[in-house]
Amino acid sequence: MDTLSHNRYDPYKPNFSTSTSCFEEALASLGPFAFHQHSKAKSEMKPVLSSIVIIAFTVISLYCQKSASANEQDEADVCAAAQQFYTALNQLFTGEVACMKEVWSHQDDITFMGPDGSLLHGWKSISAEWEKTAALKLGGKVEPTEMRIITGEKLAILTNYEVGHNIGPDGKEFKVKIRATSTFRKENGTWKMIGHHTDLLPFLTKSSSN
């Protein structure tokens, strides 16, 4: 009884042997034509897929090239902005402040931490500080060395040494070699300085404390 009940036909249980047999019979009834059409469809799909892959690869390559080119251009522009800052700084040592004002963003969120130990926020305060420094007419010259630039879409960071010399209030020449970090932001397509932070210069901290 157990054997008979186990082998009894169950209408809800799929009969795989029957299904396979029916499928084979259907293919056999179609004959070679079915296999020919199947092979033909596969062969026709190959060039289509190849074209899609080539187009996708081309689009990705062009995008990567464009991104790399844009990044290289931004890095070059940031480097130019940094050089402009140091040109303006050397002009500042002669008493000329106009170029320095061109380099900076004039927004309220900018920051300056100069070699005299000051911590200033906003263009109004920073502009006044540069005017005060220009009035000192420190003389001398400094240049950036070991420049390292990290460039993003809208922000860039520059680290370097500032090397050169200035003339102190007593007329003596002071050697300068301090670390500096500058931050730039792209505003209306132009990279503007929004932050500058340097080590301290002893002769400036003494004069500012008096």
pTM here is 0.67
What distances in angstroms separate CA 85 from CA 30, 36, 102, 131, 191, one per listed residue? Answer: 82, 74, 9, 15, 11
Distance from C-alpha of 38 to C-alpha of 205, rounded to nearest angstrom: 86
- Domain parsing of the chain, residue ranges: 74-209
- Residue 176: how many other CB atoms lie within 10 Å: 21
pLDDT for 6 beyond 50? no
Task: Please state, in angstroms and rounded to a whole number, the distance separating the CA atoms of residues 159 and 179.
Answer: 8
Q: Model confidence over 23-39: pLDDT tens digits?
A: 455 545 555 555 455 55
The CA dihedral of 105, 108, 113, 115, to the nearest 10 degrees, is: 60
CA angle 175, 177, 178 (to 5 degrees): 135
State percent of the chain over pLDDT 70.
67
What topology does CATH give the domain 74-209?
Nuclear Transport Factor 2; Chain: A, (3.10.450)
